[in-house]
Amino acid sequence: MGKKQGDQTYLFESPPVLIGARAVVGPREAAGPLGQYFDLPIDDPLFGEKTAEKAERRFLIEACNATLEGVGIKNEDVDFFLAGDLLNQIISASFTAREIRLPFLGLYGACSTVAEASALAGFLIDGGFANNVLVGVSSHYQTAERQFRYPIELNLKHKLSSQYTVTGAGAFLYAKKGAGPQLEAATVGKVVDYQITDPNDMGAAMAPAAADTILQHLEDTGRDPDYYDLILTGDLGEVGMQLNAALLEQYGVTLGSRYQDCGAMIYGGNPAHGAGGSGCACAAVTVAGYVLKEMEKGKLNRVLVVATGALHSPLTWQQGESIPGIAHAIVLERQGYS
């Protein structure tokens, strides 16, 4: 297996190309420091729909359709639609798949889903099974709050370590050929559980998984962190980001100033959003928005995206279980960069 390097990493022989992507976000995300990078800011978080769930779905449908339109590709030329979200039975993804009528593989990796889906897109294209794979993920503050915590109408106080679910959706079109950054590698994570039990401290629950996957990726590839211009975790937020960096220091790995976290970036440290953003859309819109546009400008050349997910449910928490985490990593490189 020449494609597998080390224990959990895959270097693509004919790296798929990320030929198009769109970040659709709500007003809070558009007002943050990354606002300029997002393709489609939507003023109304309900997107004209009657419920938050229908709104989340609308964000995802919009992101998928805009991505396909942007690259000028027809639905019938897309081989697979890989999608997921945080809601029970991934209804945002499934109902979006109903609208766009593509062969559909539903995924659940919590907030790591964008990297899980991208890795699978890489396997399908590099494996010779697909020319074009559409990836889409979404999250919504109102749907996530009422499902995982409490209805927002209760106006409960959040802890400082609480994170704020990003309202939005990101879609990505990976192709066998075309112009755009290459999907150079993927590292598929294992579930890691440090026995964190506080659902208001998800960053701490996910940080050990991020550290585990980053260590594995570096070991598998023989790379140092400075191989990358940017190492970007998904949604650890400010608390989890510090924990991840500290955990890696214990293993002699210093991420330094090249390390950023989508959750910590997206609201610019505004304390109204606790420790930062979270949700499947957090990493997705940051990559589709910020990362891709900076790569286009030549400001970023090699980026390691490590999307992190907390794999609990309200019920596992009620039954006294801890919160297991997972992180999957993908490498995006500018074409022609050496």
**Which residues are near its own copies by CB under 8 A?**
1-4, 7-8, 10, 51, 53-54, 76, 79-80, 84, 86-91, 94-95, 97-98, 101-110, 116, 119-120, 123-124, 126-131, 188-191, 193, 311-316, 319, 321, 324, 326
Least separation in angstroms between residue 249's CB and its own copies is 24
Question: CA 213, CA 219: separation in Å to the nearest integer?
Answer: 10
Nearer to its own copies, 180 or 189 (CB): 189
Pick from 16, 334, 330, 296: nearest CA to 177: 16
Nearer to its own copies, 76 or 153 (CB): 76
Nearer to its own copies, 193 or 294 (CB): 193
Q: Which amino acid would we find at residue 208?
A: P
Least separation in angstroms between residue 139's CB and its own copies is 13
Least separation in angstroms between residue 271's CB and its own copies is 29
Enter the DSSP assignment of 112.
T
Assigned token pair, 226: 């400075």
Pick from 215, 173, 199: nearest CA to 311: 199
Q: Which amino acid would we find at residue 101?
A: R
Pick from 129, 225, 188, 219: nearest CA to 327: 188
Nearer to its own copies, 9 or 334 (CB): 9
CB 182 within 8 A of CB 105: no
Beta strands in 12-93 (DSSP E): 17-25, 40-41, 80-85
Least separation in angstroms between residue 11's CB and its own copies is 10
CA atoms within 13 A on the CB side of 30: 14
Least separation in angstroms between residue 226's CB and its own copies is 26
Assigned token pair, 217: 């990726």
Least separation in angstroms between residue 67's CB and its own copies is 18
Nearer to its own copies, 30 or 329 (CB): 329
CB 64 within 8 A of CB 134: yes
Least separation in angstroms between residue 191's CB and its own copies is 4
What contacts 40, CB < 8 A, 6 or more positions away? Answer: 22, 23, 24, 25, 62, 63, 66
